[in-house]
Amino acid sequence: MAQLKRRWWKEGVVYQIYPRSFQDTSGNGIGDLKGITERLDYIKSLGVDIIWLCPVYESPNDDNGYDISDYRKIMAEFGTMDDFDDLLAQMKVRGLKLVMDLVANHTSDEHFWFQESRKSRDNKYRDYYHWWPAEKGIPPKRWSYFDVDANAWKYDEQTDSYYLHYFSVKQPDLKWENRAVRKEVYDMLRFWFDKGVDGFRMDVIPFISKDTTYPELPKEFKGDFIPFYSNGPRLHEFLNEMNNEVLSKYDIMTVGEALGVTIDQALNFVDEDRKELNMFFHFDLMSLDRDGNEAFWMRSDRWKLTEFKEIHSKWDAVFSEKGWGTMYLNNHDFPRAVSRWGNDSKEHWRNSATMLQTFLLTMRGTPFFYFGEEIGMTNANFERLDDYKDINTLNRYKLLQQQNIDLEDFIENEKKASRDNARTPMQWSLDTHAGFTNNTPWIKVNSNYKTGINVEEQEKQSDSVLNYFRKMVKIRKSHLGLIYGGYQLVLPENEQVYAYTRSLDTERYLILLSFSEESTQVAIDDIEFSKADLLISNDECQTEKTNHQFTLKPYQAVVYQLH
Ligand code: TEU
């Protein structure tokens, strides 16, 4: 703690909103800004402090707003700039902070800069993007996420050149090496900060720097493009410059989406002395149950709890004296936490959803919750390709089709792995379409809103997932040791129970989390449960008051304060 300075963004709890799926008020089947404003009292009632809003800027929606055609306009489907200003004002009244999404590795191909850039080789905006003139031959291979050929170079007839797009063909990469591009980005950041926005989550931020000689993939990367993309030569120079010219001028927070960033590189981004970012999301947990470099195939054996613990213990250690971490179990790009890391069967859904909440709220690092996680929303489990809306699934299907890969396997895989699992509408009530819209929703609502997974019913039950979440948030916020305290793993080899202590000065806590479908007994020699204060449990405690043993029910979570 001596080294760790207190900051609002370390003590806050973040609630991520995917606006498309949160609350429709206009009746077009798509969530909107007014919908979020209407729900602010609910959000406030959760005890969270910060909203991270996925992109709401003008966009042709090739990738649901991650393809921006104007950084200073609001997407018409979501409302107007007045709606945005009203949302921000209403948030300020309630003491909520707003973090926006900075998507500046690429723009939409419909952005004015790109429209100009592709017109001629001597256009003023030509050098805003990465171009390869065709007379030089076929450019060295670059892999693309959402391209139907997985090819990141797209030939453009107008100027007989290829442009670079790490994501879809409609998401050309900006050329940060051009100072004019960086100035545009910094100006745009100022525009939002001057409105009163409290920070940015930075999309694929490690990818912004490229070697503009576009060499063949260097040997050390062995075909794996993600670590290559995240190790651009001028990355830290750009982050430092952005910090110096913009970020440091405001009391804001930044969190990078750090694909490809390893533990050894972590402090290069978030060591305060380097003046770059405050925090980032690592991807080690998100790839734990996946196979291969691109990480969209589920691995065939089940992940082990010891692996899960190791990831979190290692990442906690990196930030014990410098920097600061993040904790998350899902977001708009990954399946729902309870379906993936817990157990969404009828029997275990409630305990496992609340156990996972307890985990995020008792670890060091800022906790990020994704809308619906507070009521235990589960995967969509779509059976048919037609149900999917995500370019990641639809274009990969086409790619695999060309490669003659078994598409039934792929659809089975997507039930567990797809991003649309987390993009189904918020389940507010028992009304039609779960109270999300009175029109046809843009993506199917999960029918389990009818069986208890909705806000309306959970508000009425004192032991609901929702009300447990509220209690657990209060506990974190009223015990500084749960935020800043040191973390110590207990029972490292145990495959059923994740146990750890947190300590700060004289405060000490023990957290026991069962990841098992069976009752499990743990023995911890130096803990006398009879002398410890139980702060919270998601189930009845069956422990004898006198000994060093504790019996956990399936997916039980307990937090003790030790003396
Ligand atoms: O995501 C980056 C990204 O590549 C992954 O999270 C990816 O979506 C996942 O691994 C799929 O296999 C960011 C955004 O969060 C995502 O929604 C965007 O699609 C992407 O960038 C492009 O902007």
Q: Give the Cβ contact number of residue 478 at 10 Å.
A: 9
Contact predicate 488/15, CB 8 Å: no
Interior/surface letters 423-436, b for 16+ CB within 10 angstroms, e for the rest = bbbbbbeeeebbbb
In angstroms, rounded to a whole number, what is the distance separating the alpha carbons of residues 36 and 428? Answer: 13
In sequence order, the 6+-apart residues with CB closer than 8 A to the CB of 187 are none
**Digit-coded pLDDT (tens) for 419-438:** 999 999 999 999 999 999 99
**Digit-coded pLDDT (tens) for 190-204:** 999 999 999 999 999
Catalytic: which of 24, 101, 198, 203? 203
**Digit-coded pLDDT (tens) for 481-499:** 999 999 999 999 999 999 9
Three-state DSSP class for 61?
coil
> What is the CA angle 66-230-110, rounded to 5?
25
Please tell me the predicted confidence (pLDDT) of residue 531.
84
Q: What is the length of the chain?
A: 563
Helices 235-245 & 179-195, crossing angle to 10 degrees? 40
Given a cut of 70, whether residue 3 has pLDDT beyond it is: no
Given a cut of 70, whether residue 347 has pLDDT beyond it is: yes
Contact predicate 303/288, CB 8 Å: yes
Q: Find where tokens 């806050």 sit.
A: 12
Q: Residue 11 carries which side chain, given as an amino acid letter?
A: E
What are 349's two structure tokens? Answer: 């859904």
Query: Which atom of ligand 1 lies at the shortest distance from residue 391's CA?
Result: 19
Given a cut of 90, whether residue 165 has pLDDT beyond it is: yes
**Digit-coded pLDDT (tens) for 67-122:** 999 999 999 999 999 999 999 999 999 999 999 999 999 999 999 999 999 999 99
Contact predicate 513/475, CB 8 Å: no
Is residue 52 lining ligand 1, measured as CB closer than 6 Å?
no
In sequence order, the 6+-apart residues with CB closer than 8 A to the CB of 492 are 306, 309, 313
Given a cut of 70, whether residue 367 has pLDDT beyond it is: yes
Given a cut of 80, whether residue 9 has pLDDT beyond it is: yes
Q: Find where tokens 């592709």 sit.
A: 118
Evaluate the CA torsion angle 13, 328, 372, 376 in order and state its sign: negative
Using a pLDDT cut of 70, give the percent of the chain over it. 99
Given a cut of 90, whether residue 316 has pLDDT beyond it is: yes
Please tell me the predicted confidence (pLDDT) of residue 1.
54
Please tell me the predicted confidence (pLDDT) of residue 544.
60
In angstroms, rounded to a whole number, what is the distance separating the alpha carbons of residues 411 and 396? Answer: 11
Given a cut of 70, whether residue 2 has pLDDT beyond it is: no
Mean pLDDT along residues 529-550:
85
pLDDT range class, residue 527, cuts 50, 70, 90: confident
Contact predicate 208/105, CB 8 Å: yes
The answer to whether 257 is a known catalytic residue is: yes
Interior/surface letters 161-172, b for 16+ CB within 10 angstroms, e for the rest = bbbbbbbbbbbb
Query: pTM for the complete prediction?
Result: 0.98
Ligand 1: centre distance to CA 333 (Å): 6
In angstroms, rounded to a whole number, what is the distance separating the alpha carbons of residues 545 and 549? Answer: 9
Contact predicate 170/146, CB 8 Å: no
> How does DSSP classify residue 450?
G
pLDDT range class, residue 545, cuts 50, 70, 90: low
Query: Which atom of ligand 1 lies at the shortest distance from residue 419's CA?
Result: 11
Mean pLDDT along residues 298-309:
96
In sequence order, the 6+-apart residues with CB closer than 8 A to the CB of 362 are 476, 482, 502, 509, 511, 559
Among candidates 1, 8, 2, which has minimal Cα distance to 477? 8
Bridge partners (DSSP) listed for residue 368? 14
Ligand 1: centre distance to CA 119 (Å): 29
Residue/partner pairs of 459-466 with CB below 8 Å, 24 or more apart: 464/375, 465/350, 465/353, 465/354, 465/357, 465/374, 465/375, 465/376, 466/374, 466/375
Given a cut of 90, whether residue 510 has pLDDT beyond it is: yes
Is residue 204 lining ligand 1, measured as CB closer than 6 Å?
yes
In sequence order, the 6+-apart residues with CB closer than 8 A to the CB of 258 are 205, 206, 230, 269, 280, 281, 282, 283
Ligand 1: centre distance to CA 203 (Å): 8
Three-state DSSP class for 299?
coil
Ligand 1: centre distance to CA 321 (Å): 30
Ligand 1: centre distance to CA 419 (Å): 9
Mean pLDDT of the residues in the chain: 96
What are 34's two structure tokens? Answer: 């007014």
Evaluate the CA torsion angle 274, 280, 282, 285 in order and state its sign: positive
**Digit-coded pLDDT (tens) for 121-138:** 999 999 999 999 999 999
Integer angstrom CA distances of residue 138 from 133, 142, 155, 216, 232: 9, 11, 10, 11, 22
Is residue 103 lining ligand 1, measured as CB closer than 6 Å?
yes
Mean pLDDT along residues 266-292:
96
- Ramachandran category for residue 496: left, alpha or beta (phi over 0 → left; psi -120 to 50 → alpha): alpha
Query: Which atom of ligand 1 lies at the shortest distance from residue 106's CA?
Result: 23
Q: Give the Cβ contact number of residue 318 at 10 Å.
A: 17
Contact predicate 474/447, CB 8 Å: no
Given a cut of 60, whether residue 467 has pLDDT beyond it is: yes
> What is the CA angle 11-312-238, rounded to 5?
70
The answer to whether 147 is a known catalytic residue is: no
Q: Ligand 1: which of 105, 108, 145 to mutate, most ligand atoms within 8 Å of CB?
A: 145
Contact predicate 30/77, CB 8 Å: yes
**Max Cα-Cα span within the chain:** 81
Bridge partners (DSSP) listed for residue 367? 327
